[in-house]
Amino acid sequence: MPMIESYTDAANLFESAKNKVTGKPILSFARMFQSGDAYAIHIGKLVVAKILPDNTLEYCASVDEYRDVHPTISSALDRVINVKSLRVGKNRYRVGHVKWLGRVKTAWGSEMHDWKKLRSEGQEYFQGLKIDLHSGEVLNPRTDMKLAVNSDNRKTWLRALRSFKGGIKVRTRLGVFDTLVNEMQLANANRWEHRISMSNENINMLVRNMKAGTFEDDLMRLLVRHARGQVYHPLKGEDVANVTYYLLKDLSIPLRREFEVFDDV
């Protein structure tokens, strides 16, 4: 049985904390802290969700942050709160309260949660999603991203993507990345010292250049440093290009959001 089914449950659980400043440990993977009138569930330093006084569960993590901790959420968080989460695509997740989800009988006569319903009808995750803990209802539903595509903005995005990839290919052939690798002395540098997180600031710089059709020096150097952190062998210009192509694929959804491809997202 989940530990928290209401705001009162969360308050009572937090009251049992030995040290409220350091929070209440939840099983072995999370901690609960008081945040104003709400109670926040942290996984590491990330605030995943808050339990509000009106018995509402509000998700606080961005989609990218949610992706990073989803293995823990999908395997453990439902032991704390009665909400299931399922990955249905790259950077796409569906969530649903078990009261909404219901149970179905298996061929062996036992019962299980209706995962097919969650996969096909569950609410696609987004930052700010709210679920009523009493009824299991999603309080602020949104249309799936794939069903809310702005066709004009999608064309703009695809043109910018093709142009940017073309520019990377040209610069690889001209030896721009080889020159930067040598200048920055990264050919044989320790890859672990150059692991770069694509922060919002870095993504914004990438988006700015894609929209303007430019290739700022700071962006080129960022891509070189990022590539150094991704490959094990001596870094070459061709590696920078290949890692950049993969990065564009990995950041596809956040980049498309910045190009406003998805309506109501």
**pLDDT tens by residue, 16-70:** 999 999 999 998 899 999 999 999 999 999 999 999 999 999 999 988 889 889 9
Whether residue 158 sits in one domain with residue 37: no
Whether residue 103 sits in one domain with residue 85: yes
Whether residue 80 sits in one domain with residue 33: yes
Answer whether residue 1 shows pLDDT above 60.
no
Q: Write the pLDDT tens digit of every residue in 74-130.
A: 999 889 999 999 999 878 899 999 999 888 887 787 888 888 999 989 999 989 999
Count of domains for the chain: 2
Answer whether residue 132 shows pLDDT above 70.
yes
| Helices first, then strands: H and E counts in the chain | 10, 11
- Residues 152, 87, 253: CA angle, nearest 5 degrees: 25
Q: How many CA atoms are closer than 13 Å to the CA of 63, on its beta-carbon side?
A: 20
Residue 263 lies in a domain: no
Whether residue 254 sits in one domain with residue 197: yes
Host domain of residue 207: 151-258
Whether residue 51 sits in one domain with residue 116: yes
Answer whether residue 264 shows pLDDT above 90.
no
